[in-house]
Structure 1
Amino acid sequence: MSERSAKHSTFVIERNYKHSPAHVFAAWAGQAAKASWFPKAEEFDFRVGGREFNRGGPPGGPVYTFDACYQEIVQNTRIVYSYSLDMEDKRMSVSVTTVEFDSVDGGTRLIYTEQGVFLDGLDTPEQREHGTKVMLDQLGKALDEQ
């Protein structure tokens, strides 16, 4: 059996988008809009208590499962959700994420805060932060292409 560990970490990422908070919020709130920059959900119920669930991974690689529950939604202002991330049958992490949408001159400042526990060395806060930055860059491209 491999050694068990739990590493706790918090990271914050800020991005500025040249779109209104309502427009950026909508990219998180609608299943089709979110699928343009985030893996398509098998289940997507955007409401407090609702679930977002998807599975996938690289061809021939492991299957990753994202299972989220929306804890708070304030229209065009804030989304709070908790989620687990599994690789095959192994739990990699459990996190609480807050996404804030602040109006700034000419657009939106998005503030993404993730508080997580990263389990058994299967993932690290640094890897998750890097992947999240890539994801938020994809969001920017999707917004610009609309």
Structure 2
Amino acid sequence: MEPQPVLPSTFVIERRYPASRERVFAALSREDQKRRWYADRDGREGTEFEMDFRVGGRSISRTRMGADTPFEGVELVSEEYFHNIVPDRRIVSAATMTLGGRPISVALLTIELVATDSGTDLICTHQAVFLEGADGPEMREHGWRVLFDRLGAILPEA
């Protein structure tokens, strides 16, 4: 059986948060804060999350998909490597995702933070190739939108 062609995709998500750029960056870069909005998600069990936030460092998230998904009990692993960090301004990382041990995507993620009079604008550019069995660009974009909503919800407490 021949592999299916890869599906390349780019999307941009923008969010405006009523919090300082420093606070938003802390929620992206501190393991305890990122865990709250990124790893501790409804519908998934057994989440493990570790982050070594530095250039050359990595973040890894392992979860078991919940009963409300088509992949109940299957392990989803996201492994991210940090390539460029400008404190309070930018994070560039590359990530792979596997589902049940099979690679489903490789992505380049650029997050930019811009100070505004009312807080911070977050601009996320997600460039990826989706492989066989992947969730696809629409689902991935939806997932990131949900995550950035969760990020916004924890900022007052961060």
Query: Identity over the aligned pairs, expressed in percent?
Result: 40
Structure 2 residue aligned with 1:49: 56
Offset of residue 4 of structure 1: 2.0
Residue 8 of structure 2 aligns with which residue?
Answer: 8
Given that 2:10 and 2:127 are in contact with CA atoms closer than 8 Å, whether structure 1 keeps it comes out as yes
- Mapped to 2, the partners of 1:90 and 1:2 lie a distance apart of 16
How far, CA to CA, are the matches of 1:141 and 1:42 in structure 2? 20
Q: How many residues align?
A: 146
| Equivalent residue runs for 1:1-146 within 5 Å | 1=1, 3-39=3-39, 42-59=49-66, 60-146=72-158
Structure 1 residue 3 displacement after superposition: 4.3
Which sits farther off after the overlay, 41-50 or 79-88?
Answer: 41-50
Q: Deviations over 1:35-89 (max 9, x none)?
A: 1101165431100000101100334421100101000000000000000010011
Counterpart of 2:148 in structure 1: which amino acid? L
Measure the CA separation in 2 of the matches of 1:26 and 1:42: 17
Q: CA RMSD in A?
A: 1.5
In 2: Cα distance, 1:144 partner to 1:19 partner: 8
Q: CA deviation at 1:121?
A: 4.2
TM-score normalised to the size of structure 2? 0.87
How far 1:18 sits from its partner (Å)?
Answer: 0.1
- Classify the secondary structure of the residue corresponding to 1:145: coil
**Aligned mates of 1:63, 1:137 — CA distance in 2:** 24
Which runs of structure 1 show a deviation greater than 4 angstroms over 4 or more consecutive aligned residues?
Answer: none
TM-score calculated relative to the size of structure 1: 0.94
**Where do 5+ consecutive residues of structure 2 fail to align?**
41-47, 67-71
CA contact (8 A) 2:65 2:76 kept: no
Distance between the aligned counterparts of 1:100 and 1:37, measured in 2? 18
- For residues 134 and 77 of structure 2, the distance between their equivalents in structure 1, rounded to whole angstroms, comes to 14
Structure 1 spans left out of the alignment, 5+ residues:
none
Q: Distance in 1 between matches of 2:49 and 2:128?
A: 24
